[in-house]
């Protein structure tokens, strides 16, 4: 029985109601609006306005314990009168109990609040959060993880986290956990932002950033992984890398990428003792198209030239735009000078065909210079320079033709670019 239904009585009532071994048989307070009275009424516990009446109603309970949370010392005498020699907890003892119950209630409230805040943070986190035990079984899987992997929480709880991994990592995972538990050393645990490959429910593999750590809770060890889908970042990085090495207009490799490809081609030709050819191509009549039809038509023409060049060469070869109306081509393992000449002829014939630039027809030609590895040069920079010189000779020789570097004859006007 509780006498006094203020804050202390209400807190004591809440604590007792949570214990299955305790039954609150009555609560009394002259203020029927007291919080303890309202709480008791909501749970069907008898309430009284008079403490004496409550005692008389409960005197048949042999194990009744009375908690007096009021400042009325006459309550003890009333208890003695009704229950005989039964003791009553009151005064300092009751105050101490009230303080203990109040503090426990406050601590419980703070813990529940903290747990609620942590749960809300995990639930609403933009990054996926996965918790596993020592056996690798998934214990936690927040909504962001559901979104990333395509599984619902119910589908993965209790399952081994290996289901989210591709081979061969999947087969190696258990041994990895065992080694970490034995030695305390691992490649992933304690590492922030490590890039790994994961598997979605539909079987798709994707790049993922993983930050993993371990913790001990109630004597049990758990591993927590914070994950982020890196697919969009990887695509953005690839796009930036592509833009850095490709011409914005034609999407062909730019000068930087071409020189890298050329250097690799020469290195490979040296190892395999093959021939390679560099073609330096400059359009004939491009300036006229720009001046008469406008720069928009000029851009369309360059895109058309790029498309035609890519159709002529092999996939193993490289076509690049060096800038303006200049293009370069590296032909790997070309075999002979005659094969390089055949490709050059095919290019000249292809570009001689009229171009339809959104209803506007135009004609251009091209002059091509050819330098051969290893006969003309053994270094890629010199090979490109020699092909450039041969191209100027082709322009000087009447345009719409090709020349080998071997054909180059020094002339006073050789280094003057012709329109």
* Each residue's pLDDT tens digit, 376-390: 999 999 999 999 999
- Specify whether the CB–CB gap between 286 and 298 falls below 8 A: yes
- Specify whether the CB–CB gap between 368 and 398 falls below 8 A: no
Query: Does 419 fall in a domain?
Result: no
Query: Does 415 fall in a domain?
Result: no
- Specify whether the CB–CB gap between 195 and 207 falls below 8 A: yes
Distance CA 205, CA 14 (A): 52
- Specify whether the CB–CB gap between 347 and 281 falls below 8 A: yes
CA distances to 3, 5, 13, 43, 68 from 23, rounded to whole Å, are 15, 16, 10, 12, 16
- Specify whether the CB–CB gap between 389 and 404 falls below 8 A: no
**Predicted local distance difference test score (pLDDT) of residue 414:** 42
Count the neighbouring beta carbons within 10 Å of the beta carbon of residue 152. Answer: 12
CA distances to 112, 139, 277, 313 from 282, rounded to whole Å, are 76, 66, 16, 17
Instruction: Locate 121 and state its tokens.
Output: 């943070």
End position of a domain, from candidates 174, 201, 233: 233
CATH number where 34 lies: 3.40.50
Residue 197 in this model has a pLDDT that exceeds 70: yes
Q: Which residues contact 35 (CB under 8 A, 6 or more apart)?
A: 5, 6, 7, 10
User: What mean pLDDT is reported for the chain?
Assistant: 86
Count the neighbouring beta carbons within 10 Å of the beta carbon of residue 380. Answer: 22
Helix axes 91-124, 7-17, angle to 10 degrees: 70
Residues 49 and 173 placed together within one structural domain of the fold: no
Residues 54 and 203 placed together within one structural domain of the fold: no
Query: Does 224 fall in a domain?
Result: yes
Strand pairing of 326-331 and 318-323? antiparallel
Q: Does residue 118 or residue 279 have the better pLDDT?
A: 279
pLDDT band at 401 (very low <50, low <70, confident <90, very high): very high
CATH number where 145 lies: 3.30.450.20
* Each residue's pLDDT tens digit, 59-114: 787 677 888 888 777 777 777 777 776 566 665 666 666 666 667 667 666 776 67
* Nearest C-alpha neighbor of 249 from the set 316, 313, 311, 320: 320
Q: Does residue 112 or residue 181 have the better pLDDT?
A: 181
pLDDT band at 416 (very low <50, low <70, confident <90, very high): very low
pTM, entire model: 0.57
Residue 191 in this model has a pLDDT that exceeds 90: no
End position of a domain, from candidates 72, 93, 118: 118
What sections of 273-331 are H helices per DSSP? 286-293, 295-312
**Predicted local distance difference test score (pLDDT) of residue 413:** 46
**Ramachandran region, residue 251 (left: φ > 0; alpha: ψ -120 to 50; beta: rest):** left
Residues 200 and 261 placed together within one structural domain of the fold: no
End position of a domain, from candidates 204, 233, 262: 233
Distance CA 317, CA 265 (A): 9
Residues 201 and 276 placed together within one structural domain of the fold: no
- Specify whether the CB–CB gap between 46 and 26 falls below 8 A: yes
3-class state of residue 91 by DSSP = helix
Residues 114 and 134 placed together within one structural domain of the fold: no
3-class state of residue 362 by DSSP = strand
The DSSP H or E segment spanning 271 is: helix 255-272
Point out the least confidently predicted range of 84-98, 121-135, 177-191, 299-313.
84-98
The DSSP H or E segment spanning 211 is: strand 205-217
Instruction: Locate 140 and state its tokens.
Output: 């936690």
Residues 45 and 139 placed together within one structural domain of the fold: no
Work out how many domains the chain is built from and give that number: 3
Residues 226 and 250 placed together within one structural domain of the fold: no
Q: Which residues contact 307 (CB under 8 A, 6 or more apart)?
A: none
CA 264: distance to chain centroid?
34
Residues 298 and 190 placed together within one structural domain of the fold: no
Q: What is the mean pLDDT of residues 202-229?
A: 88
**Predicted local distance difference test score (pLDDT) of residue 88:** 64
CA 93: distance to chain centroid?
59
**Predicted local distance difference test score (pLDDT) of residue 418:** 43
**What are the start-end ranges of the E strands in 10-101?**
27-28, 47-48, 66-68, 88-89
Query: Does 318 fall in a domain?
Result: yes
* Each residue's pLDDT tens digit, 115-166: 666 666 656 667 888 999 989 999 999 888 999 999 999 999 999 999 999 9
Query: Does 418 fall in a domain?
Result: no
Distance CA 280, CA 3 (A): 103
3-class state of residue 162 by DSSP = helix
Query: Does 412 fall in a domain?
Result: no
Query: Does 239 fall in a domain?
Result: no
3-class state of residue 18 by DSSP = coil
The domain in which residue 145 lies consists of 125-233
Residues 377 and 281 placed together within one structural domain of the fold: yes
Query: Does 417 fall in a domain?
Result: no
* Nearest C-alpha neighbor of 158 from the set 122, 133, 184: 133
**Predicted local distance difference test score (pLDDT) of residue 398:** 86
The span from the first CA to the last CA of the chain, in angstroms, equals 109
Residues 296 and 389 placed together within one structural domain of the fold: yes
Name residue 246's beta-bridge partners.
253
For the chain, state the CA radius of gyration. Answer: 43
Residue 226 in this model has a pLDDT that exceeds 70: yes
Residues 90 and 194 placed together within one structural domain of the fold: no
Q: Which residue has the tokens 């719409």?
A: 400
pLDDT band at 294 (very low <50, low <70, confident <90, very high): confident
Residues 177 and 222 placed together within one structural domain of the fold: yes
């Amino acid at each position: 029985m509780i006498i006094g239904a203020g804050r202390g009585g209400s807190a004591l009532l809440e604590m007792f109601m949570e214990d299955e071994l305790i039954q609150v048989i009555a609560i009394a307070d002259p203020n029927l609006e007291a919080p303890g009275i309202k709480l008791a009424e909501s749970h069907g516990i008898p309430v009284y306005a008079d403490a004496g009446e409550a005692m008389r109603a409960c005197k048949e309970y042999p194990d009744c314990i009375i908690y007096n949370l009021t400042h009325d010392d006459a309550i003890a005498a009333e208890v003695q009168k009704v229950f005989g020699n039964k003791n009553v907890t009151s005064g300092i003892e009751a105050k101490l109990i009230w303080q203990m119950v109040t503090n426990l209630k406050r601590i419980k409230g703070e813990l529940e609040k903290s747990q609620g805040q942590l749960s809300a943070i995990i639930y609403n986190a933009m990054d996926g959060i996965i918790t596993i035990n020592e056996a690798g079984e998934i214990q936690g899987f927040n909504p962001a993880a559901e979104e990333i992997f395509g599984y619902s929480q119910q589908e993965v709880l209790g399952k081994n986290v290996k289901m989210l991994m591709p081979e061969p990592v999947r087969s190696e995972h258990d041994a990895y956990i065992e080694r970490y538990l034995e030695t305390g050393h691992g490649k992933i645990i304690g590492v922030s932002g490590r890039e790994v490959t994961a598997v979605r429910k539909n079987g798709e593999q994707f790049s993922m950033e993983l930050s993993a750590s371990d913790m001990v809770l109630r004597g049990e060890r758990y591993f927590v992984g914070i994950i982020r889908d890196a697919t969009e970042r990887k695509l953005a990085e690839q796009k930036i890398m592509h833009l850095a090495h490709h011409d914005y207009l034609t999407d062909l490799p730019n000068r930087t990428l071409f020189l890298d490809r050329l250097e690799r081609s020469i290195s490979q030709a040296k190892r395999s003792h093959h021939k390679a050819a560099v073609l330096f191509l400059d359009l004939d009549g491009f300036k006229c198209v720009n001046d008469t039809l406008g720069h928009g038509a000029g851009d369309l023409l360059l895109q058309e030239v790029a498309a035609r060049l890519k159709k002529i060469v092999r996939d193993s070869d490289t076509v690049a735009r060096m800038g303006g109306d200049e293009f370069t081509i590296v032909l790997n393992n070309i075999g002979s000078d005659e094969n390089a000449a055949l490709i050059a002829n095919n290019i000249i014939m292809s570009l001689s065909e009229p171009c339809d630039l959104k209803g506007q027809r135009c004609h251009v030609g091209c002059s091509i210079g050819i330098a051969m590895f290893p006969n003309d040069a053994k270094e890629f920079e010199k090979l490109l320079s020699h092909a450039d010189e041969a191209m100027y000779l082709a322009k000087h020789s009447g345009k719409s033709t090709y020349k080998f570097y071997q054909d180059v004859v020094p002339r006073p006007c050789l280094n003057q670019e012709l329109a």
